[in-house]
Amino acid sequence: MRDGATPATGGVERLCGAGIGPLGAFAYDARMQITVRFLPSGACVRVPVGTTLLEAARRASLPIARACGADGICGRCGMEILAGADGLPPETRRELDAKRRNRVPEHQRLACRVAPTSAVAVTTPYW
């Protein structure tokens, strides 16, 4: 891989044009935005900190399973975190309960409940 890209993310920040907004380099403060890369599609979006993975997937025009309206009940929006897990908040009791109830694998996080604070690469079993 080139220029510090990692096999898991393909260099999330580099490939997604970190720091370059719709109006060029002066469009926004990159510290307030994070990069979310979706594999294997390669889709990549920059979203404000506090945006859930579910909303990021929707902004990338990717299908995302859900049946509860993003209420953290159905467990269908489980995503595997491929890189950047250290930028995720810990699982809440609500997320853990929903995962257990719906038999979501332990290594997945519920996209409707997780808002990363730094760059992340994710996948789902159905992409």
Q: What are the tens digits of pLDDT across the range 65-103? A: 888 878 888 889 999 999 999 989 999 999 999 999 999
The verdict on residue 5 lying in a domain is no
Q: Which pLDDT score, from 0 to 100, does residue 68 have?
A: 86
Q: Which pLDDT score, from 0 to 100, does residue 94 have?
A: 92
The verdict on residue 95 lying in a domain is yes
Burial-class residue 69 by CB neighbours within 10 Å (0-12, 13-18, 19+): exposed
| CATH code of the domain covering residue 85 | 3.10.20.30
The verdict on residue 2 lying in a domain is no
The verdict on residue 57 lying in a domain is yes
Domain span including residue 25: 12-123
Residue 5 has pLDDT above 70, yes or no: no
* Total domains in the fold of the chain: 1
Residue 2 has pLDDT above 50, yes or no: no
The verdict on residue 7 lying in a domain is no
Query: What value does the mean pLDDT of the chain take?
Result: 81
Q: Which pLDDT score, from 0 to 100, does residue 28 have?
A: 47
The verdict on residue 6 lying in a domain is no
The verdict on residue 76 lying in a domain is yes
Interacting residues of 67 by C-beta distance below 8 A, sequence separation 6+: 74, 76
